[in-house]
Amino acid sequence: MPDPGSQSRPAQKRLTVLSGPSGVGKSTVVAHLRRVNPDVWLSVSVTTRKPRPGEEDGVQYHFVTDEEFDRLVAQGQLLEWAQFAGNRYGTLRRPVEERLRDGVPVLLEIDLQGARQVRESMPEALHVFLAPPSWEELVRRLTGRGTESEEVIQRRLDVARIELAAEKEFDTTLVNTSVRDVCDELLALITAPKV
């Protein structure tokens, strides 16, 4: 006979961490996944980066000052944080923990540094590495954006080499050859029962 208290508590869902090199298409895959399955909750990161044209505070990111970010770090309010291309990015701890407690599947789209921090603090999370079809395709995507300087692109490529070498640290790898296919694979992983 099931525990009577278990019916009032939703089953705790798994936290899924999606990471991979810059330019691999993480944001595109996540946007598609949220369209086809809005029940998956995507954590919105905080960043010290200035908004790009068309970005809204609280939608793509929570945009904060360096001082506000320092306060979040000092107060332990970030599950993870990292510095990249001169800006800092982080995941607010409380909203993630609240959604997981409520039985909502949670997805974090974060970089390698952040993924390592989450593995330390939440080892039960499923870590998924999103890989490009090839190095040449990744270079094409990064240089084709047209939003960054040559120096920033070179830094992104240098970091991408390091991130690709860390693939073995992840529980599974998905190759982004088709946004729809990789989204279906990711959704299957997110909604699979915890073992």
Can you list the alpha helix ranges (DSSP code H) found in the chain?
A: 26-36, 66-74, 93-101, 112-121, 135-144, 150-165, 179-191
Q: Which two tokens stand for residue 19?
A: 């990471």
Q: Tokens 């029962």 correspond to what residue?
A: 193
Amino acid (1-letter code) at residue 51: P
Residue 173 maps to which CATH number?
Answer: 3.40.50.300
Beta bridge partners of 19: 129
Inside any domain, residue 3? no
Tell me: the pLDDT tens digits for 96-115? 999 999 999 999 999 888 99
* Domain-located, residue 1: no
Give residue 15's domain range: 9-191
Taking only the tens place, the pLDDT of each residue in 153-194 is 888 889 889 999 999 999 999 999 999 999 999 999 998 876
On average, the pLDDT of the chain sits at: 88
Q: Give the C-alpha separation, 169 to 98, whole Å.
A: 27
CB atoms within 10 A of CB 20: 29
Number of domains making up the chain? 1
Is residue 72 assigned to a domain?
A: yes
Q: Does the pLDDT value for residue 2 go beyond 70?
A: no
Q: Among 79, 10, 13, which Cα is nearest to 40's?
A: 13
Residue 1 has pLDDT above 70, yes or no: no
Indicate whether 162 belongs to any domain. yes
- Confidence label for 14 from pLDDT (cuts 50, 70 and 90): confident
Contact 22, 141 (CB under 8 A): no
